[in-house]
Structure 1
């Protein structure tokens, strides 16, 4: 009788453990689905840079180092992650929230010459759209 009782108790424990593990797996799957859905929503909200247009008023709302958008030669760039590592130091901050074409092309606080091809290629990495007319 004790043997049957112990076997029955063992079966119940195994069944409960299996149910618990199954529930945890379902929770993980549900959480992953929620994360996937949020990521899809965020991606849909992001504008395609080739189609996005921004006005100078839009750009003006991004005028600090931590949130730095600039317009250069009719294109808009988000330099928020670049401003703090800009080789020219804080000079990039002068252009945040503005049309910075003249600053970029003449570097009045630096050498007074246009930026290099390497700088232009780096700038392309931060392209987010075009300046609306």
Structure 2
């Protein structure tokens, strides 16, 4: 008998949850993490070097692609300008602290236990 739509959705949800948990354990970046950092590096380096011509060309390409996907051109340009302005003011992307916590836990678990006379 064929599975119901709800049953297939639930199985997909469980597979996705397991995949996200595995990626978190492995500290494997998601494509959005890569895209976010790539944008940050490009904008930061362009602002630092004062080379806005290349940045403008790149952002024009990004705008065209997003508009082709159905996004509003004016709103897209506005968001890009806000991102560039934040970088000009020294903005840094936030760290993904949940990934760092997992790393720290793994390091603590791997740390050797010392046989000291330290009593509490």
TM-score normalised according to structure 1 size: 0.28
Larger of the two Rg values belongs to structure: 1
Counting helix residues as a fraction of each chain, which structure ranks higher? Answer: 2
Counting strand residues as a fraction of each chain, which structure ranks higher? Answer: 1
